[in-house]
Amino acid sequence: MDFQFLLDGLNEGLKAMTWLEGIAVFFGIASVFYSMREHIWVYPTGIISTLIYVWICLQYKLYADMGINAYYFSMSIYGWYVWTHPKENQAVLPVTWLKPSGWMVSALIFVASYGILSFVLSSFTDSDVPYWDSFTTSSAFVAMWLMARKKVENWIFWIITDLVSIPLYFHKGLILTSFQFLFFTVLAFMGLFAWIKSAKHYAES
């Protein structure tokens, strides 16, 4: 791998970065960090980041990603409520695994979302990456839903989303955001291992 190329890309991204993108990146990273630790601040930091990215994605014609960030915003409000209002017999909402039926529903949501989004973007917008954009949006759609319900598998969908988003944003010239998704991938793996441990702890308690 040409590490100098990556360093040059990061340097170019920092030079081209707007103050708005910088704020979005900062709060986006903070949100993932808090999510790893099951901290409620995952939601207020995520709300700030996603609102900014709605505007950024609109400017770069990433319409599906613009929509998913709007979805993140609404799901952050939902997740904030769910995490702070556990069932009566629970002190906190526990981390749990999906049942087979949950996997089936998640897969169906992903396939349906991808089919609808790719058709809409390729037929009715001027997006130059309709299928690419639709894929990351669909996987993130499932990931956010599972995170709000504190399911371990949310990290698997985040890993997929982040890995595919790295070249997508690099292609669109959002170099710093591309590096952000590279960092997100590392954090997502860390989050997966942390939540596996947490799910085991909740199951034994």
pLDDT for 55-104, tens place per residue?
888 888 878 778 878 888 898 999 999 888 877 667 678 899 999 999 99
Closest C-alpha among 25, 26, 32 to residue 143? 32
What pLDDT shows up at residue 92?
A: 77
What pLDDT shows up at residue 80?
A: 92
Counted domains in the chain: 1
Mean pLDDT computed over 14-28:
78
Domain enclosing residue 158, as ranges: 3-204
Percent residues over pLDDT 90 in the chain: 45
Q: What is the pLDDT of residues 131-174, one digit of tens each?
A: 988 999 899 989 989 998 999 999 999 999 999 999 988 887 77
Determine contact, residues 51/202, Cβ cutoff 8 Å: no
What pLDDT shows up at residue 188?
A: 94
How far from each other are the two terminal CA atoms of the chain, in whole angstroms? 46
As given in the structure block, the two tokens for residue 50 are: 């996603």
Mean pLDDT computed over 26-38:
89
In whole angstroms, what is the distance from residue 155 CA to residue 8 CA?
A: 30
Among positive and negative, which fits the CA dihedral 122, 125, 130, 133?
negative
